Amino acid sequence: MVKYRDGNGSAFLCSVLLCSVIFFLSVQSAPVSAASVWKSELEQAALTQSEITLFRVVGSNTVGEKLAPSLIRAFLQAEGFSDVQVVENGSTHSRKVIARGMFGTRNAVVAVPVEAHGSSTGFRALQDGSADLGASSRPIKDSEVAALSALGDMRELDNEHVIAIDGLAVIVHHSNPISKLSLDSIRDIFAGKITHWSSVGGRSAAIKLHARDDNSGTFDTFKRLVLNGVKLSAKAKRYESNDDLSAVVQSDVDAIGFVALPSIGGAKAVAVSDGVAVALAPSEMTVATEDYPLSRRLYFYSASGKAVKAVVSDFLAFVHSNEGQAVVSQSGYVAQALYALPMHSEDGRLAGLERMNLNIRFQDGSSALDNKSKLDVERLAHFLAQPKHSESSITLVGFSNPLAGSGQASLSRLRAQNVRWALRAEGIRNRVSALAGNAVSVSDPGSLNADRNRRVEVWIH
């Protein structure tokens, strides 16, 4: 079993930022066009408009409250606009990023509105044409894929854009003695079956529940990963904002809630265990590798091909660049830049190696890479292509869900081998070995989170 040397949730943000600053130079940047076609179009628009809307973002509060405005602001600055600022846009959780630019002889204001009212609202806005980007803190649903088929296959790389990794933090007051909880206990607490802290080893007091609202992708993720078909207690107070929920928990010793990682603030994030697996706190490595039971991906969804605006394509390229991912890190989320950390493994074959901060994940019974896995392979290839890594060797360790049956070892090795072939296809000629891992579970083999066991870990020498 791998033993993590990470700190608790309070040390999380600082460690992510430090590692990101150190290692961003190891990843190639996606270029941002300096003479985009959309800029020439702005010259015509500036003749008749004093404020020009570049594109619109609608959806997740987790993405839209801080991350999206920060990315848009940095993008406009990188494109040479001046006086860039984020302003309120008439209602709660509605913002607008504005900036000034010269278009020919005219000075005009450009704007990017951001509506942050929940992931589901982003998909509806894409469907009715009121958004160019749908922000989501959960994967798109089958019904939404069908509804948006006119814009392309929303699960393909051109439409689905993983922009950051986040984790749901289960938070309590900083003086609460509870430091870890199982997924089952968290489910029973929020379902109202466990109503007193003493039932889970805490003080003799009633538990006060706080949860995100029904539009929230955060709540959708919580329902999927924790509640698992059980209804949320009617006694839970509901919030549209992560920060608002966190502020209440920080002020009430008997409160419990769940928020995105950057909203932990002065609360305490408890370690979470999934069945027989060890309890893990949200940390730079456990979230980046998605081993933490409540880790999740954050997305932008867009049209593809000729249906996507040129400025949106340039913005998405910026988001995936070094500069864009630095903004992700500074916003408190886990950037997708790669680095390695010293870690101990009980697998003697990995002695002396360091673990990379990514897992390549697979669907049940499959050895095919998903969208994020393909991007991760590209990032790993860029990392290895740097001169300082020319002599580095990589060990890929494949795993399957322990309930997979007698073919588990073969499938595990095939998954590792497929990542090796993908690296070769990217031109990597470093020494790369592929192994089947020991039966190490990061989630209970019978749980809904068992997909986290289907992975390839990346170790480097």
Range 78-105 average pLDDT: 90
Confidence of residue 126 (pLDDT cuts 50, 70, 90): very high
Is the distance from CB of 361 to CB of 372 less than 8 angstroms? yes
Which domains does the chain show, CATH number per domain? 12-162+297-330 (3.40.190.10), 166-288 (3.40.190.10), 338-460 (3.30.1330.60)
Give the separation between CA 341 and CA 16, rounded to whole angstroms. Answer: 12
The amino acid at 368 = A
User: What was the pLDDT predicted at 306?
Assistant: 87
CA distance 57 to 242: 19
Q: Tell me which residue has tokens 């690296």.
A: 423
Q: What is the mean pLDDT of residues 438-458?
A: 75
Q: Which of 8-12, 177-181, 302-306, 338-342 has the highest mean pLDDT?
A: 177-181
Q: Is the pLDDT of residue 145 over 70?
A: yes
The predicted-structure confidence for 256-307, as pLDDT tens digits, reads as follows: 999 998 899 999 999 999 887 889 999 878 888 888 999 988 999 999 988 9
| Lowest mean pLDDT, pick from 18-27, 34-43, 296-305, 346-355 | 18-27
Give Cβ neighbours of residue 326 (< 8 Å, ≥ 6 apart). 20, 21, 24, 335
**Tens-digit pLDDT profile for residues 378-391:** 889 999 999 999 89
Matching residue, tokens 């998405």: 316
Q: What is the mean pLDDT of residues 311-317?
A: 95
pLDDT tier for residue 15 given thresholds of 50, 70 and 90: very low
Quick one: pLDDT at residue 363?
A: 67
Mean pLDDT of 42-54: 88
Cα separation, 212 vs 232, in Å, equals 11
Backbone angles phi, psi at 315, to 5 degrees: -65, -45
DSSP label at residue 140:
P
Mean pLDDT of 59-64: 92
pLDDT band at 438 (very low <50, low <70, confident <90, very high): confident
* DSSP-derived secondary structure for 201-226: TS-SSB-EEEEE-TT-HHHHHHIIII
Half-sphere CA count of 460, side-chain side, radius 13 A: 19
User: Can you tell me the mean pLDDT for 73-92?
Assistant: 92
- Amino acid at site 409: A
> Where do we find the tokens 């891992």?
437
Q: Quick one: pLDDT at residue 435?
A: 93
Q: Please, which residues bridge with residue 354 across strands?
A: 342, 460
